[in-house]
């Protein structure tokens, strides 16, 4: 909790001065491997929204756009620079673990790796360098951005600073949290597909 307060104190003056621009910048650059307090800035922005100083809708839309586009930049950096970029940023052992995980669960790594430090910053670069199709990347990247922003931004807005305790539990049991989020997204996709498949009512 003390660390959270320190981080929030550090980023809040930037939000006070630059508003949504600071939120977009930090979340955006974090998405392609540049160290930045993207997640903390999102939490701080949601706290300001809870106090009425920022618009919650604008915070969520800005953060989602920044997260999705940041990882997309990472994807194309991976395509252009590929492995040398990953080796420079991740290092040998960490890169080997990432490659093994990516080969087994590439889409899920892009989508829900956003909840894991390290994967959040490098999943897009890895997807591009390891040859994932852009269509697959786009779908999982957008789903992950929405889920991540909804969890941290929406959760902070609803529970205010008490969300720090919830976040601590979520971090401890992050695999279970990610599994729940994955199931929720898959059920949502299935529901949308079922709605589209339903025949339109006939007019008499």
How far is the C-alpha of 73 from the C-alpha of 82, rounded, in Å?
13
- Please identify every stretch of the chain with a pLDDT value under 70, giving residue numbers as ranges: 1-7, 82, 85-86, 88-92, 94, 98, 161-204
pLDDT tens digits, one per residue of 138-195? 999 999 999 999 988 988 888 775 665 656 555 555 555 555 555 555 555 556 556 5
pTM above 0.85, yes or no: no
Three-state secondary structure call for residue 55: coil
- CA dihedral (51, 54, 57, 60) positive or negative: negative
- Tell me phi and psi for residue 192, to 5 degrees: -65, -40
Which residues 6+ apart lie within 8 Å of 130 measured at CB?
78, 99, 102, 103, 106
Three-state secondary structure call for residue 29: helix
């Amino acid at each position: 909790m003390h660390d959270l307060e320190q981080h929030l104190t550090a980023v809040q003056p930037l939000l006070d001065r630059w508003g949504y621009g600071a939120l977009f910048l930090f979340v955006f650059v974090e998405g392609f491997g540049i160290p930045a307090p993207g997640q903390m800035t999102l939490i701080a922005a949601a706290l300001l929204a809870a106090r009425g100083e920022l618009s919650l809708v604008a915070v969520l839309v800005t953060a989602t756009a920044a997260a999705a586009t940041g990882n997309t930049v990472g994807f194309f950096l991976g395509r252009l620079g590929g492995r040398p970029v990953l080796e420079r940023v991740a290092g040998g052992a960490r890169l080997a673990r990432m490659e093994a995980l990516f080969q087994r669960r590439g889409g899920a790594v892009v989508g829900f790796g956003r909840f894991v430090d390290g994967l959040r910053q490098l999943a897009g670069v890895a997807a591009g360098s390891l040859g994932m199709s852009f269509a697959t990347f786009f779908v999982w990247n957008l789903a992950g951005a929405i889920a991540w922003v909804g969890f941290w931004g929406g959760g902070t807005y609803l529970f205010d600073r008490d969300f720090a305790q919830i976040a601590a539990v979520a971090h401890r049991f992050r695999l279970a949290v990610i599994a729940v989020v994955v199931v929720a997204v898959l059920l949502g996709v299935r529901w949308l597909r079922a709605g589209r498949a339903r025949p339109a009512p006939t007019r008499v």
